[in-house]
Amino acid sequence: MDAPLIRVGHGLRAAASAAGPAASGLASRSISGASRSAICHPSRATAVAATVAARHFSALNRPPPKYPGHVPLTKIEQAGMAIGSGIMSLFNPYRAVPGGPRDGGQMQIKHMMDTSPQLMRNLADLIATLGEATATPYFIYRLRDAMLAHPTGRRILRLRPRISSKTLSIPALRALPANSVGRAYVEWLDREGVSPDTRSAVKYIDDEECAYVMQRYRECHDFYHALTGLPTVREGEVALKAFEFANTLLPMTGLSMLAVATLKPAERRRFFGVYMPWAVKNGVRSKDIINVFWEEELERDVDDLRRELGIEQPPDLRAIRKREKEEKRRLKEMRAQGF
């Protein structure tokens, strides 16, 4: 019996003694019943305490964090953050960028958005916040349960590995065989000019284990890029998010597809005609990519891993975009020459 119950019991006995023998007997029976209830249903006291705490949870009376960096949110705060980050990531991806739309040159900034890793990281911060705000109460638990149902997923949850330049040796990855998973990963990092250290820490998901699941998904995102070959340009990110939504069902990945409205007409046609069908087909039929222990697959042949997971590579988007730019430049030169 815990201390609060003992103190309550002593109070009841004292009051019952003052009232008389009958009341004293009744109090003893009530205490005995409460003791049996607490022993048989130990979670009941915890549930009551959680309910009381929830009633007093507000922006001015926030409970303590459950893990380092955790920020508990009220339901209103969570909804506001989901709406705000969603709107900003869709309509204002140029925040905190020198020379943004306020300085003019929106076409130049949009070109920079397609080529600058820093701008992509700014947008990634907003998308990360959107992901955390929309993952609870159901979707992140579904993904956690998918890991618990798989032997490799359970091992990942038990060991909780992290992906960064401190846990992965980039020079060692460059020395791996040409068609290995690790070599494909590091070559994709070099080609796109990104680093595994750019993923922000999860802080708005209350359950510590689920917070790790979201962190794991976030840090594995670049492996998904390397596996599919999709670049970090907006068109490639939208295509990969469509694949991730079909595979993980995380709402953020589905909401991110709304960015297709910001693509150029030719890019939108290509997305709906080529990459959207590829994403749905491969995302639905492939195994849960959250259960891949990437750190143990680095020396494996990347084509062999794709076959095991059931993932086909889509058409090379960067090569397609390069050919289109060369064709436009050639036509422009021909017009300038009077043809």
Q: Which residues are annotated as a binding site for Zn(2+)?
A: 221-222, 225, 237
Q: Cα dihedral sign for 295, 296, 301, 305?
A: negative
Residues making up the annotated binding site are: 221-222, 225, 237
Rounded to the nearest 5 degrees, what angle is found at the Cα of 61, between the Cα atoms of 60 and 65?
115
